[in-house]
């Protein structure tokens, strides 16, 4: 079966890419989501749940900023330069994954006090919840499009002796090729 670069990234270098690009950021983001729901329902803007929410928001935002920079440099730019995207499904999956980092970064910036400083607590809560929702939407778009076979839109994987440089652009966890 053909794979998007999104799925290939998660499938190669097992289990490390799966841990680095999915388990860690999604685990932190889900911690934010669960604690965010608690805060929204209880309106308790203090206590250990809010501290956990703040810590996880900062950690996932900064972590994902690193992912964005790394993948732009090692995968997106080389694949784009070589013209080796595997249809619009591939571009949408990778694009949504990387765009999902923007609301996570905004969560971190808000919880670090770098944005929305002058807003009332209720307004900050509204922004925080909006960023969480935006991440969830983009994350699910990335997963759905990423798991879709790009062959549905006409992509055919090269034969082994025609292998492209795109596979070398996917981070495999080592530097020698």
| Distance, CA of 174 to CA of 176 (rounded, Å) | 6
Task: Tokens for 155, please give them.
Answer: 């992509």
pTM of structure: 0.87
Q: Tens digits of per-residue pLDDT, 100-111? A: 999 999 999 999
CA nearest 28: which of 8, 46, 66, 54?
54
Percentage of the chain with pLDDT > 90? Answer: 85
Residue 115 has a CB neighbour count (10 Å cut-off) of: 14
Across 39-64, average pLDDT? 96
pLDDT higher at 163 or 112: 112
Phi-psi region at 77: left, alpha or beta (left = phi > 0; alpha = psi -120 to 50)? alpha
Calculate the alpha carbon distances from 104 to 49, 111, 147, 167 in Å.
Answer: 18, 11, 22, 28
| Distance, CA of 27 to CA of 33 (rounded, Å) | 10
Across 39-57, average pLDDT? 96
């Amino acid at each position: 079966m053909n794979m998007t670069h999104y799925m290939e990234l998660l499938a190669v270098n097992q289990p490390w890419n799966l841990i680095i690009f999915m388990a860690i950021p999604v685990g932190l983001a889900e911690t934010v989501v669960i604690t965010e729901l608690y805060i929204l329902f209880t309106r308790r803007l203090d206590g250990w749940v809010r501290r956990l929410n703040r810590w996880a928001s900062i950690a996932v935002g900064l972590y994902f900023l690193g992912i964005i920079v790394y993948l732009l440099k090692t995968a997106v730019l080389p694949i784009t330069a070589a013209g080796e995207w595997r249809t619009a499904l591939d571009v949408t999956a990778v694009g949504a994954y990387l765009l999902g980092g923007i609301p996570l970064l905004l969560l971190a910036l808000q919880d670090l006090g770098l944005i929305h400083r002058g807003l009332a607590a209720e307004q900050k809560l509204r922004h925080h919840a909006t960023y969480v929702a935006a991440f969830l939407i983009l994350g699910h778009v990335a997963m759905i499009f990423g798991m879709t076979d790009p062959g549905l839109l006409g992509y055919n994987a090269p034969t082994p002796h025609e292998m492209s440089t795109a596979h070398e652009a996917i981070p495999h966890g080592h530097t020698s090729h």
